[in-house]
Copies of this chain bind each other. A is one copy, B any other.
Amino acid sequence: MQLSESASHTPGTVRPGGRTARTRAAVRDAVLTGLAEHGYPGLTVEYVAEHSGVHKTTVYRRWGSIEGLVADALQLAGEDSWTPPDTGSLDGDLQALAREVTETFGDAPAAAAPTAFVAAAFQSRRAAEALHDFYAERFARCESVVTRAVERGEAPVGTDAAAVVRAVSAPLFFRVLITREPIGTPLADQSAAAVAAAVRAGAYLPAG
């Protein structure tokens, strides 16, 4: 992924190169810890500097602000090698995708970062944009699940892959982060089975 020219001139979007990758990771870790401990409103550049061991003036110079720090931490979170499950069937892949969500949110340390980012997006437009970009890229990767299902003849040609992969996760995120209800494997499996059935019924084909 390459930075656009304009982004490279905006403080807080500058991406340190390989030489400073360790600094960036340390700062990202401090941002995540701070968000989990204090939430976005309580996160300060002082906290990030202290917990990352990176000097405050360096943090200000490279990331500009708390908003820049959160945006960069999200961008870094998106730079992993995660690939969606490939179990050999649409049902299996959707189930595995849904179960990953319940596993993440069922594990307090793993849940802290996504929860903190979603919360920060309510406080900061820049964090909201970064979160949008993170999920857009993440769900784009997931679409291969649907592409393969179409190739195998398990899903009709023209199935709205973007909608399918979001629909599987949405009831789980909705309960954890909005209606504040418990989730678990049975709910993940139910969501996956429901979306798979809707796919087979052609409910994700373009309206017409």
Contact = CB atoms under 8 A, between A and B. Distances in A.
Interface of A: 39, 41, 115, 118-119, 121-123, 128-129, 131-132, 135-136, 139, 160, 163, 166-167, 169-171, 173-175, 177-181, 186-187, 189-191, 193-198, 200-204, 207
Given A189-B207, A207-B186, A170 B174 contact: yes
A179 B203 contact: no
Nearest to A176: B178
B128 A118 contact: no
A11 B207 CA distance: 52
B186 A193 contact: no
A122 B180 contact: no
Number of this chain's copies in the assembly equals 2
Nearest to A190: B163
A27 to B, nearest CB: 23
10 pairs of A and B residues whose beta carbons are closest in the complex: A119-B122, A41-B41, A197-B201, A194-B198, A170-B174, A132-B180, A170-B170, A135-B179, A194-B203, A197-B203
A201 B202 CA distance: 12
Contact of A194 (B131, B136, B167, B187): B167
Contacts of A119: 119, 122-123
A115 B122 contact: yes
A115 to B, nearest CB: 7
Residue from A136, A174, A186 whose CB has the most chain B CB atoms within 10 Å: A174
